[in-house]
Amino acid sequence: MISYPNCKINLGLNVVRRRPDGYHDLETIFLPAPLHDILQIEEATHFSFTQDGLTLDSGTEENLVVKAYRLMQRHTGIGNVAIHLTKKIPFGAGLGGGSSDATFTLCMLDKIFQLNLGKARLKEMASELGADCTFFVDNVPAYATGVGDILTPLGFNPIEGFELRIEKPEGETVSTSEAYRGVTQKNNSHIPLPKAVKEKPELWRQMIINDFEASVFPNHPRIAQLKQQFYDQGAIYASMTGSGAAVFGIFDSNKQPTI
């Protein structure tokens, strides 16, 4: 079986508060994005995991795809599989590529072994692998709160009909811990995201922000430069996604690009 785990972008990201457990409550809009990896899984006499494409610096057992398989194996007793991952989604980018790979692995294993676990059970298992993993079960535009694990489907795609471009400055990575360390207080000036995304994208620049940009940009000026580059090219909205380092630009596909 083969699937194409897609990435996501964050349309706005507001850090609400630091929780007693050390995590942070946030609010954001998760949107599926068309950049994807390639994941192949088939039953086998012994377990194997191979990978090509972008090179990851983690060992086999640390890869979220393998962790997803081990999790499913513990919960259901499934047999061995051969997994091959072609990595195309940049990592350390705020695009959720690893989370997507993990969740797609769970869903594929559910189908291959005819487990019929249902979406609620798959989401429960996905949440054990990462806060944003549950998003990729439904994989539809959603308003996320909590640590990114409480999802409310938007019911529409606010960037449908627009061109989406995603880039990551070569060599730039931003760890999640670094991004959170720089957020000193809650920004209370924003318009609630569920309301803001219903406005025209041309108005988002004054309404929708990513709280991490204020602390990430001074330490990673190339990320800030990329955002400005998108605006210089005619983007109607541009932002860093998640904790970075990727940046996306939204363009009116009916307009000629700016040279």
- Give whole-number Cα distances, 110 to 86, 102, 114, 125, in Å: 21, 13, 6, 12
User: Please, which pLDDT band fits residue 22 given cuts at 50, 70 and 90?
Assistant: low
Tell me which of 3.30.70.890, 3.40.190.10, 3.40.50.2300, 3.40.1160.10 is the CATH number of domain 163-251: 3.30.70.890
Q: Are 29 and 154 in contact (CB under 8 A)?
A: yes
Whether 111 is catalytic: no
Preceding amide of 144 cis, omega within 30: no
pLDDT band at 259 (very low <50, low <70, confident <90, very high): very low
* pLDDT band, residue 248 (cuts 50/70/90): very high
d(CA 257, CA 249): 12
Domain boundaries, the chain: 2-153, 163-251
- Per the residue annotation, which of 101, 110, 132, 211 is the catalytic one? 132
pTM of the predicted protein model: 0.93
CATH 3.10.690.10 fits 2-153, yes or no: no
Beta-carbon contacts of 170 under 8 Å, excluding residues fewer than 6 positions away, are none
121: which 2 tokens? Answer: 């059970």
Say which amino acid occupies 111. Answer: K
Task: Return the pLDDT at 132.
Answer: 92
For 151-206, the pLDDT digits (tens) are 999 999 999 999 999 999 998 988 777 877 777 655 555 688 999 999 999 999 99
- Respond yes or no: is residue 132 known to be catalytic: yes
Note whether 125 and 142 are within 8 A (CB): no
